[in-house]
Each structure stands twice: as C-alpha cells, then as structure tokens.
C-alpha cells in the first residue's frame, strides 16, 4: 500500500517500446526532457529496462548506428521492486538510480518510484514539518537504552520521531536521534537534556528545526 501511494503509475509516464530504434528513443527523451525512461514490451505490460539519454548520445558520438533497436543500450533490466516490497528493499535497491521500476504481483509493470518521492517520505518520517528540536543522543549500546531514553523524554513531552544509527554488533556506542514535537519549549528541552545526562546519556547536538 505504501509503494502504491508513492509510485507514479504507468498511465502518467513517458515510456519507450522495445521495438523502437535508438533515434526514436532519443526523440522521445528530448521531447519529454527526461534523462531516462522505462522500456516496455510491445504490450506495454512488461518492464525490459531503462534507456538513458547519455548512453544514446555517447553511442551516436562514436559513430554508432541509430537505427539499432533501443534494447541495444538497455540498462537496469534487473533493477525493480514488487508493489509489496519492504521499505528496506526499496532503499537498498534504488541507491543511485533516478527511479526504480515497480511491478505488480503478476510481474506486469505498475510504474516507477522516484528518488525524490522516497526522500520526501523520509523527510515526513523525520517529522521536519511538525517537529521542534532534534536531539542526537549517544548511548553505550546497553540493553534497555532506548526504553530509558524515551522514558526520560516522556516525563516532559511526547516524541515525534526516533531513529537509531550505528546498529551493528561491533558498535560500542549508538546514536539515537529524537525529534520533539513542535510545541516543545526551550525550558522543556533543557529539562530533557538534564534528565538524560543524569542517566549518563550524552546529548551531543541539538538542532532547531524551526530555524532550518
């Protein structure tokens, strides 16, 4: 459901059929203004890969035949996710791609999930729009640290968001980033910091989201 709401469906996309020539593909890319677009089969149901403007122009500059099928320069044929893929698979599959193809459960092409959509979702999860302060707290990776940190904060205010970093078995210290709600006052912030430090947690930085 998450991907379905974030992805751009096929009907709203510019695509190229696999039977198109490189010249036809570059014409479509130039007209659309995109640096790459999905390549689909003749039925426009199956994802074949992506075609990039830069690869076509490089091919042309080297004297390549522009009447060759677009599949000659096809890229990312195995880079896709399912409509019900987990967030972690999405995050590690998209990496440096401008977008990732999204397939239905029957492997037909649903649409694409762009980098910008994913970043917008992460920004929302960070509670940038509804937060006040972000505390970076260093914890010694003890059992129950997260419980203790949230317990201290909840005595004063609620928590808008929590993210933990450095979560490997070899980490001696772990960073916990806590976003406090927008209505949190400076006095409440000071109370929280004092309470955390009393429990031997170090607040190494405080970012005011209202001033970013």
pLDDT tens string 126-151? 656 677 899 999 988 788 999 999 99
What is the token pair recorded at 121?
């979702």
> Which residue, 37, 183, 21, is CA-closest to 109?
37
pLDDT tens string 58-107? 999 999 999 999 999 999 999 999 998 877 778 778 878 889 999 999 99
Q: Which pLDDT score, from 0 to 100, does residue 143 have?
A: 86
Q: What is the DSSP string of 19-37?
A: TSBHHHHHHHHHHHT-SEE
The residue behind tokens 């004092």 is: 194
Rg (CA), the chain: 24
Domains and CATH numbers, the chain: 2-121 (3.10.580.10), 128-211 (3.30.70.260)
């Amino acid at each position: 459901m998450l991907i379905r709401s974030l992805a751009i469906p096929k009907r709203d996309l510019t695509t190229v059929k696999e039977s198109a020539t490189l010249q036809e593909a570059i014409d479509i890319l130039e007209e659309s203004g995109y640096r790459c677009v999905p390549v689909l089969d003749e039925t426009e149901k199956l994802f074949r890969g992506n075609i990039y403007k830069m690869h076509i122009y490089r091919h042309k500059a080297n004297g390549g035949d522009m009447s060759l099928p677009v599949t000659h320069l096809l890229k990312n044929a195995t880079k896709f996710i399912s409509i019900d893929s987990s967030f972690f698979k999405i995050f590690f599959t998209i990496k440096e791609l401008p977008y990732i193809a999204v397939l239905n459960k029957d492997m037909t092409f649903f649409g694409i999930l762009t980098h910008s959509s994913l970043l917008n979702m992460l920004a929302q999860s960070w509670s940038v729009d509804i937060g006040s302060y972000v505390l970076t707290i260093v914890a010694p990776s003890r059992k129950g640290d997260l419980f203790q940190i949230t317990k201290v904060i909840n005595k004063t205010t609620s928590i808008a968001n929590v993210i933990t970093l450095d979560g490997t078995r070899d980490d001696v210290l772990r960073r916990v980033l806590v976003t406090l709600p927008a209505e949190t006052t400076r006095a409440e912030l000071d109370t929280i910091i004092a309470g955390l430090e009393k429990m031997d947690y170090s607040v190494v930085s405080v970012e005011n989201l209202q001033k970013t």
